[in-house]
Homo-oligomer: A and B are copies of this chain.
Amino acid sequence: MSAHDVRTVRTNVRANVRTVPGPCAHWNDQDADFIREILDLVGDKWSVLIIGTLESGPIRYSDLADAIPGISQRMLTLTLKQLRRNGIVTRTTYPEVPPRVEYALTELGASLLATVLALAAWSADHHAEILRHQTSFDSATAT
């Protein structure tokens, strides 16, 4: 059923991009570009973690830092800037003392989160199978 859902979505891409709908679409060069684009967006170390943390609603910079263990200030700032540049998050400054800055998901960001969770779904579904392959491959290689 998961496979069926994905196929539905997949047909939609092509319908939008080249108006070639149908049940049996195939990989083409355009796909490569789109994949590169989304990997640039979320393929780094922290983007999806931040997006996921923002699901609960607007959150302050420091709370974000606390919610994402291991992230450095530098990477938090840098990644947030990229996400803002791509319209995934918004930054709102409240002129108070001490200053307060809140980050929130845009609609675009929310839809990206949903897509990313589909990825997590696949990963969860096949986690065990992948692990089995890894260990069998490693033991075969070791000998």
Q: Which residues of A contact B (CB under 8 A)?
A: 1-3, 5-10, 12-13, 16-17, 26-27, 30-32, 34-35, 37-39, 41-43, 48-49, 52-53, 55-56, 84-87, 108, 111-127, 129-130, 132-134, 137-138
Contact = CB atoms under 8 A, between A and B. Distances in A.
A30 B55 CA distance: 15
B6 A115 contact: yes
A3 B124 contact: no
Number of copies: 2
Contacts of A34: 119-121, 123-124, 127
A3 B9 CA distance: 9
B56 A26 contact: yes
A31 to B, nearest CB: 5
A129 B38 contact: no
A16 to B, nearest CB: 6
Contacts of A111: 3, 122, 126
15 contacts: A1-B8, A5-B5, A9-B117, A13-B117, A16-B125, A32-B49, A38-B120, A43-B43, A85-B134, A86-B133, A87-B132, A108-B129, A111-B122, A112-B126, A115-B118
A31 B35 CA distance: 21
Given A5-B5, A38-B122, A85 B117 contact: no
